[in-house]
């Protein structure tokens, strides 16, 4: 997942580090005002906002800025009535500290799967908690980077995705293009999919990028 995070204080880095170690791309905003400015152009899977109290959060504005991405709030304290108001205003989830990281990560993944842009026309299922893909009663556990790539391509099934877009959205790399990194990772992932499921699912379109497609007739293995 590609996430935008706002902490209560800039010195608080635990959640960013934990999400990064779990394989997610996390960018930070200095405060909610900055998040409102940069979120609409970022194509984030979710906004993760940490605050002392929900009353200080412009929930409706953040929901609009998320532009289809999940809006998850974490507060030091919040009564059920405050959490209910935040959910009605556009938040997708509200947590009160202490928060169990695995539950937070699983909730984020579930919300991303339910996002309007997520494609239902995918022949396999994915479990972010175990990094497992399932197809035709067979399971495949993937390395973190390959799972993130397959998850992203599944959420954009049928689209042609360029290597530069994959680098930015999956790895968070906006520097010099590294198409060979994408090509190598796609090749490894495709080999695992063929070995386990008998189908590669990922099509290479030379000069354009990659597409996830359940109809594999005439696919390129390059």
Q: What's the pLDDT score for residue 125?
A: 85
Q: What's the pLDDT score for residue 75?
A: 92
Q: What's the pLDDT score for residue 214?
A: 65
Residue from 2, 26, 32, 15 nearest 97 by CA? 15
Distance separating alpha carbons of residues 36 and 159, to the nearest angstrom? 28
Q: What's the pLDDT score for residue 178?
A: 72
Q: What's the pLDDT score for residue 177?
A: 59
Q: What's the pLDDT score for residue 2?
A: 83
- Using left for φ > 0, alpha for ψ between -120 and 50, and beta otherwise, residue 172 falls in left
List pLDDT tens digits, range 149-189. Answer: 998 888 888 888 888 888 877 877 655 657 788 899 999 99
Average predicted confidence (pLDDT) for the chain: 83
Task: Walk me through the domains of the chain, giving residue ranges and CATH numbers.
Answer: 2-113 (3.40.50.2300), 125-212 (1.10.10.10)
Q: Which residues of the chain have pLDDT under 70?
A: 113-121, 173-177, 214-222
Q: What's the pLDDT score for residue 34?
A: 92
Helix (H, G, I), strand (E, B) or coil at 115: coil
């Amino acid at each position: 997942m590609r996430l935008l995070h706002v902490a209560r204080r800039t010195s608080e880095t635990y959640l960013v580090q934990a999400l990064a170690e779990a394989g997610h791309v996390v960018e930070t905003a200095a405060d909610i005002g900055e998040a409102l400015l940069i979120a609409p152009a970022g194509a984030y899977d979710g906004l993760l906002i940490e605050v002392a109290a929900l009353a200080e959060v412009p929930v409706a504005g953040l929901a609009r800025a998320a532009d289809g991405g999940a809006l998850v709030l974490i507060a030091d304290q919040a009564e059920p009535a405050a959490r209910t108001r935040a959910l009605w205003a556009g938040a997708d989830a509200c947590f009160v500290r202490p928060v169990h990281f695995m539950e937070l990560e699983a909730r984020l993944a579930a919300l991303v799967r339910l996002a309007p842009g997520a494609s239902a026309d995918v022949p396999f299922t994915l479990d972010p908690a175990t990094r497992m893909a399932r197809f035709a009663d067979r399971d495949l556990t993937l390395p973190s980077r390959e799972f993130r790539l397959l998850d992203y391509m599944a959420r954009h099934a049928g689209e042609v995705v360029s290597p530069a877009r994959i680098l930015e959205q999956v790895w968070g790399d906006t520097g010099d293009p590294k198409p060979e990194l994408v090509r190598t990772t796609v090749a490894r992932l495709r080999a695992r999919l063929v070995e386990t499921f008998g189908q590669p699912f990922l099509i290479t379109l030379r000069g354009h990028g990659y597409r996830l497609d359940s109809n594999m007739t005439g696919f390129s293995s390059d």
